[in-house]
Amino acid sequence: MATSSGLLAGRLALVTGGGSGIGRAVCSIFAREGAILAVADRNKSGAEQTVSSLPDSSQHTAYETNVASATEVSKLLQDIESKYKQVPSVAVHAAGINKDNFLLKLDEQTFDDVVNVNLKGTFLVNQALARAMVKWQVQDGSIVNISSIVGKNGNLGQANYAASKAGVIGFTKTAAKELARYKIRVNVILPGFIETPMTAGVPENVTQMIVDMIPLRRMGTPEEIAEVCAFLASTRSSYITGAVIDVNGGLNF
């Protein structure tokens, strides 16, 4: 049974990228706040591990989905609807990748791969969700997209990633304007430098260099992003839509 108390009591929540890092922390904190989780990831075993780590794990479900595929995203929403007899009323779209290289060396395929997952995936997930929410006349719908500080400031070796994440910001602002009339809010978080598998491969000296630039002098934790997601997903933020929220320890490189 869903927890009857908490910011998200009884809400069905979709979390993409829920099999790792920030997405997994979102699942954990949303479950603490009483939500029922549909955990989607292209890494099925990661999504399954997330589900089994949650209290009352039998009420949550893992889905294998590639967010860059319209067919798979559409099937995901259908599968959730047929299992839960409702559609998600809150969602965090955290699935994302980076494939870094300097601009002079960046090949077309690598550019396309990152844009397809990070930007086209955002379009596909938001559109499918919004259509489902409108069809079901969901009240208090909330979608939280995850961009990056790099989408605002750019970063060496990340032209593809920066372009995709800047796109997520513009996309979110537009979606917020279009979907407000349906009582669906859409916001975007720009994490700074967060301890997850995505940043685990950054060399020690580079990590130290970045940490030295962060006013709070440390990397962020996935939970610190997830807490803001919980606020944005919940009705506590009922007058916030189209907002771009930095969660970066004060970093502004």
Residues with a known catalytic role: 161
Per-residue buried b or exposed e for 27-66, using 16+ beta carbons within 10 Å of the residue's own CB: bbbbbbbbbbbbbbbbbeebbbbbbeebeeeebbbbbbbb
CB of 85 to ligand NAP, least distance (A): 25
Which one of 50, 61, 66, 158 is in contact with ligand NAP (CB under 6 A)? Answer: 66
Helix axes 108-115, 159-179, angle to 10 degrees: 30
Which residue of 70, 169, 198, 243 would you call a contact of ligand NAP, by CB under 6 A? 198
Subset of residues 137 to 196 that bind ligand NAP, contact rule: CB under 6 A: 146, 148, 191, 193-194, 196
What SS3 class is residue 187?
A: strand
List 27, 67, 175, 230, residue binding ligand NAP (CB under 6 A): 67
Token pair for 245: 């929220």
Assess 34 for contact with ligand NAP (CB under 6 A). no
| Nearest distance from C-beta of residue 101 to ligand NAP, angstroms | 16
CA distances from 107 to 123, 160, 210, 231 (A): 23, 10, 27, 39
Give the footprint of ligand NAP on this chain (CB under 6 A).
16-17, 19-23, 41-43, 46, 65-68, 94-97, 117, 121, 146, 148, 191, 193-194, 196-199
